[in-house]
Structures are given as structure tokens and as C-alpha cells.
Chain A
Amino acid sequence: MDERAPSQTARRVVIGLGDAANLPEADELPTESMPLNMGPSHPAMHGTVRMVLEVDGEKIRSVDVQIGFLHRCFEKEAENATWTQIFPYTDRLNYVSPMLCNVGYALAVEKLLDIDGRIPERAQFIRVIVGEISRITDHLTCLAASAMELAAFTVFFYLMKAREWFWELLEEVSGARLTHSYVRIGGVVADLTDDFCPKLRDVLRRCRAAIADADKLLTGNRIFRDRMDGIAIITRDDAIGWGLTGPVGRSAGLDYDVRKDHPYLVYDRFDFDVPVGSKGDNFDRYAVRLEEMRQSMRILEQAMERLPAGPVLLDDARVALPPKREVYNTIESMIAHFKLIMDGIVVPPGEIYSFTEGGNGELGFYIVSDGTGQPWKCRVRPPCFANLAVLNKILPGLFIADIVPTFGMINMIGGECDR
């Protein structure tokens, strides 16, 4: 090349040819690290996270993940609401799987009330059904969004379509497409519609096909695999130390699923498997979610078979609202209704940490009651808060482009992470 090159460099460096990779350190092109700001408004940041990166070329030297852009004060609002009024807020915690949050919160309060043993069986089955549907929609959304971020728009459309089918079902049951507030303390607010089960079976059939399509389009896809395989590996020890649960934890080999290890509701009656990853990289997280959807469908089918008849709400005027007809026509039920709405359900003093398997992992509710109609403290242990924190450890050393799939597979949900 140019003979009159500046004399500082001892040897001439030919970039792009031959063994540029194993040149001695001193001979690489001089680079200096620069700060790079991703988000809070960035297509791959889901609008609510900001990453302050220190990059060396394309390589990430260090990262500071900043959250809180969607801090909607779940706890403060909960401390100023009656126990029942909190359900809508739980809907908006993990707004991709609201039913799971509903159920988690309801179980916690029922334990405080010591009525968890008396919840009608049908209600428990319904909770399992709507919960598992929510889990499927959660994973569908996660995969669809990440696929889109990796430019696989077709997959996005396929999976969105599948999600739409489930939402229409949930809308028939609860009246809302997304924010259902369907679960109540003591059961669920309304029974399933008559033709729910046949419809659900049909949807499951179509959904299997959609998932199979997505599977074909992605799993064997070179571009996709190149950005997922071996990227952002999390070890089992990391998972334990960082408190990673759910698909993220399981993909790292941590075999922990609340539904199996601490069965609640009627999960112990169903036969399903817990997929566990081997490498803990992005692809494992993707594969685990794919498999979990199939397992959830198995649970759904068993649940539909064994769905018992009976009431769907606890028959206890101090917990559950009386039927509307009674409320409008008799003073007794009017008073009960009034007391439950205005003063709220009176929960005896106590503390409880109740945990369920949310869409992203262990969804815990730590509730302190002082015996009045509203909680003294209603803390939610958000799984993806812990899951996201680990980014600070695994991102350094990766390339900027790896952030997108990694972040997508962590599946941080703003409402749940920031509360």
C-alpha cells in the first residue's frame, strides 16, 4: 500500500486480508470506547428501558440498564384501594398475561382470608384454563415481537393472528380483550360461556398449526439461528444467584416451575412437562417458550376434559358479592353489597408471601394487612425485574446487534418490571 504511511506503526497492517484476526494486540486498528445511548424510545426497547452502553466499536464494554420509565406506583395505588379494586391494577402489571396476575393476587388474599381451601373446584379449573391461555398469549407475543425485531415480519403476523383467537375467547368470558379483571377473591366473576370448550379446542388446533409454521420459519432459519445460538449465555449458577425464574431460568438449566414444585390450584392433577434448556443462550429461551406453549395446550385439554360442574364463586356474603337481583330487591343483599364495595372485604391482620408461575417466572405477592378494608402494603415480586437485572452481567462482550434478540428473549414487560 502507501509507502509514505505514517511512521508510528511499526508494521504495515492489511485489514480484511489473511490473518487479521490473530495479529498481535498492538497492531489492531486503534479504537477508543464511546458511550452509546439506547432508548428509552427505541424499536427494540419496548418503549420503557434505557441502556447506556460503553461500546468499543461494535463490542459492548459495559452497560447500565435504566428502568422506571413506566413506574405507575402499583403499591401506592394498592394502599389506597380496597382489596377488590386492586384487580384492575394487577391486570396492568404483566399486561401480556393479565389472568396470571389476577390469579396470583387472588390466591394471596385468599390465603390471608383462610378461604383458600374453600374455593369452588370449578372456579379453580377455570382459573387454570384462563391462566394457561394467558401464558400462551404471553409467549406468543414475546416470540412474535422478537421475531419482528429480527425482521421476520411474517412470523409476527402468524403469531399475532393466533393471539387474536385467544383474545376473542377471553373476551367472550370476561368482556375485555386484554385487561380482563376476571378473577375475584373467592373465585371468578362469571362462568365460562356454554360453547367455550369446543371453541377453545378449535382455537388450539389452529394455534398448533400457527406455532408449527413459526417453528418452521424460525428454528431452521440461518439468519435467526445465527443471532440466537450461543448468544448471551446464562449459567445455572447465575440463574440462582440472580434469582432468575420462568423461561429464562429454565433455559439456563434451573429446573424450577412453581406449578410443578409447589402446585397450587389444581395443577397437581395435570400431566405436563417442564422444558429445560441445556446451554442457556437465546435460542434455548426461544425453544423453551415454544415448548411451554405446547405444554400449556396439553394442560388446557386435560382441564377441559375434567372441568367439573358447580358454582364459580365462593358462597360467603362477607367475601363475594351477592347476586344482582337480590341486591336490587332485598335490603339484606343491598347492605352486603354496600359493605363489600364501600368498606371493602375485611382481611384479618397478617402477612403472606404467595407465589405463582407467571408468564415470566415466579410472580410473588407479599401482602401486609392491618385488618382494614385496604392493604397496608401490597408488594409484587416481579419476575422480569430480576430477569432484566442480569443483562448488566451478560451483555458486556456481546455486539450491539445482540442486544435486540437478547432483550427480546428476556421478555421484559414494563408494567411488571417498573410496576
Chain B
Amino acid sequence: MPFSVYTSKLAQAVNWARKFSLFEYPFVTACCGMEFMATWAPKYDIARFGAELPRFSPRQADLLIVVGTITERQGPVLRRIYDQMCEPKWVIAYGVCASTGGFYQNYSTMPGADQVIPVDIYIPGCPPRPEQMLDALVMLQERIQKGEGHSQVVLRAERGYVAPDVAIRPDGNAKEGAGR
């Protein structure tokens, strides 16, 4: 069917454009921010991947990078920022605190940013090395190209397309759905 072919090709082209022009919003809260700075700095130079431009307004960003520990107090803030971003949008949880809470298991820290927002890529490490950030970025770009980013899937689902399970939860554990 020519039309569907046309649309799918177009989608591929668009995704290709998207993955190399990621405008990131670094939601920097803690130690990981120091390493995250390093990924911008000359040696690791995230610019090589077309993601060097930080946008400090969520409305202009399409990649939310949660860098550092998220506390219960910060939860609503993070959620609001995510809601303010335009679709399609992607989220990287940078470091174990943003992924699971890390070794802070107490009354104030939230066990992972995905308690309040959906996360596409989790980066382990306390803090992760800049290489891991770049690696995660490449993984995300592949995901974007395939159209398996969380919000991409949701958008498609809203338009009546079927969502591939794997994308519901980036770790492939589709059964649980997006919640923990």
C-alpha cells in the first residue's frame, strides 16, 4: 500500500533527523552533575553526537536527562518539567540514584526517577563515567530511529497503531508495564 510505505519512510526520515538534533534539558541535582559537565567538556565532547545544546527551558527540549538523586520533595518538580516538554520526548536516568535511588534508601530519597516519569534509558554508576553517557546517547538514538522511544510509542498508540511491548519499558520487561 503506497501510502503506508510513504508514511513509514517519512517516519524513518523524521526519526533520523530527530536522533541527531537532540536538545537536552539537563535536570542536574547532585554529584552526577560533575561528571555530566565532563561529558560536555573538551575531552568527551558530547557535541560529536549532535546533543551538545542544553536548553534550560523544558518547552524547547526533547531529551530530559535526570542527573542525580531525586528526593520526594523534588518529585513534583520533575514531573512538571516532564509534562512541560513537547512530544515526542525522551528521558535518560543518569546514575543509580536517578535509576533506583542507589545506596540512599531512606525517608527522603525517591527510589528512582521512574517513580514519577517514564524513563527510556537507565545508566548505572555512581556516578557513571562520561563514556557511559555517550553510550546511552547512542542507544537512545537507535531507539529513536526505530521509533521505540516511550513517548513515540505512546503517540503512535494514540493514533491507533500497536505499541511494541519492548518499548513500554526500556529494560524489555514488558509484563510489568511502565510502573514499578
Contacts and interface: CB of A to CB of B under 8 A. Distances in A.
A–B direct contact (CB < 8 Å): yes
Interface of A: 40-43, 46-48, 68-73, 76-77, 88, 91-92, 95-96, 141, 144-145, 156-157, 160-161, 163-164, 167, 177-179, 414-415
Interface centre among B33, B107, B127 (most CB of A within 10 A): B33
28 contacts: A41-B77, A41-B81, A43-B56, A46-B33, A47-B67, A47-B68, A48-B29, A69-B29, A69-B73, A70-B29, A70-B30, A70-B69, A70-B74, A71-B71, A71-B108, A72-B106, A73-B107, A77-B104, A91-B31, A92-B30, A141-B34, A160-B41, A160-B42, A163-B38, A177-B35, A178-B34, A414-B30, A415-B31
B163 to A, nearest CB: 30
Interface in B83-108: 103-104, 106-108
B43 interface: yes
Interface residues of B, number: 32
A145 B27 CA distance: 15
Contacts of A96: 34
B140 to A, nearest CB: 21
A177 B77 CA distance: 30
A71 B37 contact: no
A178 to B, nearest CB: 6
Contacts of A88: 103
B30 A73 contact: no
Nearest to A81: B103
A40 B69 CA distance: 14
Contacts of B18: none
A40 B77 contact: yes
Contacts of A40: 74, 77
A179 B126 contact: yes
B27 A41 contact: yes
A71 B126 contact: no
Contacts of B56: 42-43
A13 B129 CA distance: 60
A179 B31 contact: yes
Nearest to A80: B106
Given A40-B77, A160-B41, A177-B129, A73 B31 contact: no
Contacts of A92: 30-31
B109 A73 contact: yes
A92 B126 CA distance: 10
Contact of A161 (B27, B34, B43, B69): B43
Contacts of B71: 68-72
A69 B74 contact: yes
B166 interface: no
Interface centre among A42, A70, A163 (most CB of B within 10 A): A70
Nearest to A95: B31
Question: What 4 A-B pairs come out closest when comparing CB atoms?
Answer: A160-B41, A95-B31, A43-B56, A73-B106
Interface in B20-62: 27-31, 33-35, 37-38, 40-43, 56
B22 to A, nearest CB: 18
B43 A164 contact: yes
Contacts of B129: 177
A70 to B, nearest CB: 6
Contacts of B35: 177-178
Nearest to B109: A72
B154 to A, nearest CB: 23
A95 B28 CA distance: 13
Nearest to B105: A77
A77 B27 contact: no
B30 A71 contact: no
A303 to B, nearest CB: 25
Contacts of B69: 70, 72
B108 A178 contact: no
A157 B108 contact: no
Given A40-B77, A69-B74, A76-B107, 18 more contacts: A42-B56, A47-B28, A69-B73, A70-B29, A72-B30, A72-B69, A72-B71, A72-B104, A73-B109, A96-B34, A157-B41, A160-B40, A160-B41, A160-B42, A161-B43, A178-B34, A179-B31, A179-B127
B108 A73 contact: yes
